[in-house]
Structure 1
């Protein structure tokens, strides 16, 4: 058994949003890929073997690894950079996604939820990561997103066009057959569709019900790309588990979501990322639609928070992408924290997603029995979400995958 003792740290996790206090002068005992013990340093050291490998983090703050709930490792938006991704052959695409997975892990994102990837390459990537052949985060994936003929995202191989009740049922079952952990469905237009608007309804009620009922029968949750309040309300009434974006929520629909337990992944970045769009050569029509939706998008998020909707971290932009002085995951978390505060932001990036994924027995907190997916930084994440800009140490499953010197100087791991 590989045994590691981590010291020189303060441990904090998403339970702080529920009243738990961080553990100062803490130690974490890791055995193989799991946390075996955590608590005050003196207590943990007294219960651990003297032969255990020691890692001193030099006063860092340790949290669980981040969970990004809206990830596209094969993203190809309209524009020159997106066209280059679309032109990759299957072998090049696999390598491109593997590189993105490695970058994502090094950012401190130890788990992702993929919500539409090209050609089912996400399943091959997940197998390679699980087998240890490729470094990357834990992958939960929807496979290809379901979309009506000509609907949002229909141009790419990361979606599957389906129509009618029978077509949508077959589409959902096809993703489950491939190994999907959840189902993603496009129920409205969005910002990246040339011939649609954000508020264009794209599925009828019986089609939405077919997806939701089929997925639930197979024990899978359903998340929906959705913008307008009326469409979201209809889907929530039918049992939808999660909304992506929610550009045009109203207080009434937010209250309905809260009452039904429907979560929101707001992806605030996608309506405030002109620098990213310019870098990718995104056309003017899409930039105008996206950036123009920004004020209402932020109002919708505030309405959801006020109503008590469970809000979860998801960047939509590739999670590792360098943006505004940090990576896309952290920048999204900073935007969220401006409304919900740093403690709730930490919850939205760790324990909240783990619970939605039904993986909180394994992920989301620094507790015995959970995977040793841990990250360290020098600033306090309960004081500011910007602390995550300074992630300098990453462990996944008991293995250190990134280790940099503390701000004061010496390397600790």
Structure 2
């Protein structure tokens, strides 16, 4: 018997009979084929020129794989479901996270940005995926987030409590040393902290400045869990690169974000997640806070759109979670469209725009020669309505088919 190989990371393929949404032109284009070599798109050619054995996509709409910019594979919220995750041993947690990574990839998310994971397991998971030991998306990670003593997320192993500028500097350096691609700060309260409010400021100006300055010196961008406008404005003035949630933006602060090229990951689904909360046994106080924040959260999102802030996809909930008839990541995209972005703008916010923020747009985010063959396919046109993504039935990462419900190779 021959040796059993690791999971292939790069493949060769030709895809034909498709409608291409490449992220460069606004309308789907037919009559083309994608030629993939060693995991990378080698050429986009007329379908008639595709002479190799090809995967016939039966007229499906093909677009870049989704890039989810707010992911937690080790998420443990208050309640019975979260308590079970928090109680996992390190080895059990690693297996749990590996399963989440696999399911995330199968849901059509080919790249994630992890923004607070427990105990360094995200770095091990990234290495395991890259080595072909387990299937999963490409991972960019912040490692553990930095918070103040008693701050947002302090009671789990996915944060480090840092008080004062020196501690913040050490916190940033500690995550960079482990391999963090970015830094995550908890600068205000949020939904999941029982003894805080969304509006609670949690880092001093000096602490934020130290963390941001240190991260930038090491070539890392900084994103921040943030709710109130005043706290966000102060962080933006100090050089913050991205805001998570942004529950209470004002028009003025949204304009400041746009002027400073600060992105927003709105995570609209987290204030519209009753069924998810019920699944996990979330306590009443958190449910009330979350659902009660929904109208202001949507208003804040619309301020960002009106100001021209760069909007990026992020689900916060596990991307693969079975939620309201689809996955959590698709439900987030539907909320983004319903909240004011066009379907094409939502698709950009889920592909090309995150790739730019990650400084990875030479590798992911569009379907063009030289980019990884990370793509998804579905029967209906997502440029007309992002709800078409409910029909994802084909996923490829690096030229390797990882999900194929309908296709045949001829």
Q: Specify the TM-score bucket, using the shorter chain as the normaliser.
A: over 0.9
* Distance in 1 (alpha carbons) for counterparts of 2:119 and 2:44: 42
* Distance in 1 (alpha carbons) for counterparts of 2:27 and 2:382: 13
Match 2:37 to one of 31, 37, 45:
31
Shift of 1:176: 0.2
* Distance in 2 (alpha carbons) for counterparts of 1:30 and 1:201: 49
Match of 1:248 in 2: 248
* Distance in 2 (alpha carbons) for counterparts of 1:284 and 1:15: 45
Shift of 1:148: 0.3
- Mapping for residues 92-171 of structure 1, pairs under 5 Å: 92-171=92-171
Shift of 1:14: 3.1
Shift of 1:53: 3.4
* Distance in 1 (alpha carbons) for counterparts of 2:377 and 2:32: 13
Cα pair 2:12 2:39 within 8 Å, conserved = no
Cα pair 2:53 2:409 within 8 Å, conserved = no
2:279 is the counterpart of 1:279: yes
Match of 1:401 in 2: 402
* Distance in 2 (alpha carbons) for counterparts of 1:240 and 1:4: 41
Deviates more, 1:180-189 or 1:25-34: 25-34
Shift of 1:129: 0.1
Secondary structure of 1:14 counterpart: coil
* Distance in 2 (alpha carbons) for counterparts of 1:83 and 1:169: 31
Cα pair 2:22 2:368 within 8 Å, conserved = no
Match 1:6 to one of 6, 15, 18:
15
Match 2:46 to one of 24, 40, 44:
40
Secondary structure of 1:113 counterpart: strand
Cα pair 1:13 1:346 within 8 Å, conserved = no
Match of 1:357 in 2: 358
Match of 1:210 in 2: 210
* Distance in 2 (alpha carbons) for counterparts of 1:118 and 1:297: 27
Match of 1:318 in 2: 318
Shift of 1:23: 1.9
Pair 2,194 (structure 1): closer, same or farther in 2 beyond 3 Å: closer
- Mapping for residues 40-79 of structure 1, pairs under 5 Å: 40-42=46-48, 44-45=49-50, 50=51, 52-79=52-79
Pair 12,174 (structure 1): closer, same or farther in 2 beyond 3 Å: same
Cα deviation digits, residues 303-343 of structure 1 (max 9, x gap): 00000000000000011111001101110011001210110
* Distance in 2 (alpha carbons) for counterparts of 1:182 and 1:13: 27
Shift of 1:105: 0.4
Shift of 1:13: 3.4
* Distance in 1 (alpha carbons) for counterparts of 2:77 and 2:382: 32
Cα pair 1:3 1:32 within 8 Å, conserved = yes
Cα pair 2:35 2:45 within 8 Å, conserved = no
Shift of 1:39: 4.0
Cα pair 2:28 2:61 within 8 Å, conserved = no
* Distance in 2 (alpha carbons) for counterparts of 1:269 and 1:107: 17
Cα pair 1:15 1:351 within 8 Å, conserved = no
Pair 39,298 (structure 1): closer, same or farther in 2 beyond 3 Å: farther
Normalising by structure 2, we get a TM-score of 0.96
2:268 is the counterpart of 1:268: yes
CA RMSD across the alignment:
1.2
* Distance in 1 (alpha carbons) for counterparts of 2:234 and 2:359: 25
Match of 1:376 in 2: 377
Cα deviation digits, residues 85-120 of structure 1 (max 9, x gap): 001001100000000000000001000000000011
* Distance in 2 (alpha carbons) for counterparts of 1:180 and 1:4: 33
* Distance in 2 (alpha carbons) for counterparts of 1:2 and 1:403: 15
Cα pair 1:59 1:378 within 8 Å, conserved = yes
Cα pair 2:11 2:398 within 8 Å, conserved = no
Cα pair 2:333 2:346 within 8 Å, conserved = yes
Shift of 1:32: 1.1
Cα pair 1:30 1:398 within 8 Å, conserved = yes
Q: Which runs of 5+ in 2 are unaligned?
A: 1-9
Cα pair 1:241 1:261 within 8 Å, conserved = yes
Match of 1:340 in 2: 341
Cα deviation digits, residues 126-169 of structure 1 (max 9, x gap): 00000011000000000000000000000000000001000000
Secondary structure of 1:400 counterpart: strand
Normalising by structure 1, we get a TM-score of 0.95
* Distance in 2 (alpha carbons) for counterparts of 1:275 and 1:131: 36
